[in-house]
Amino acid sequence: MKNENNEVTMDKDDLMKIIEMTGLPASSLERLIDLRKAEENEEEQRKRESDNPPFVQFYKGTGIKAIQWLIKKNPFASQLFMFFIENMNNKNLVVASQQLLMEEFEKGRTTVYRAVKFLEEHNFINVAKIGSANAYILNPEIAFQDGHHKKKFVSFEGTILLSKEENKILFEKHNYENVKVLKGKNK
| Domain limits, the chain | 57-173
Q: Return d(Cα 80, Cα 116) in angstroms, integer.
A: 8
Q: What percent of the chain has pLDDT over 70?
A: 71
Average pLDDT over residues 119-140: 88
Give the closest residue to 155 by CA, choosing from 106, 92, 111: 92
DSSP letter string over 94-157?
EEEEHHHHHHHHT--HHHHHHHHHHHHHTTSEEEEEETTEEEEEE-TTTEE-S-GGGTT-----
Q: 57-173: what fold? A: Arc Repressor Mutant, subunit A (1.10.10)
Give me the pLDDT at residue 125, please. Answer: 93
Q: Return d(Cα 182, Cα 145) in angstroms, integer.
A: 21
* Cα end-to-end distance, the chain, whole Å: 61
Given a cut of 50, is residue 128 above it in pLDDT?
A: yes
For residue range 41-92, what is the model confidence (pLDDT) as tens digits? 888 877 766 665 567 888 888 889 999 999 999 999 999 999 999 998 878 8
Q: Please list the residues that pair with 19 across neighbouring strands.
A: none
Rounded to 10 degrees, the C-alpha dihedral 49/151/104/119 comes to 170
Average pLDDT over residues 104-131: 93
Mean pLDDT (the chain, rounded): 79
Residue 9 pLDDT level (bands cut at 50, 70, 90): confident
Q: Return d(Cα 151, Cα 88) in angstroms, integer.
A: 13
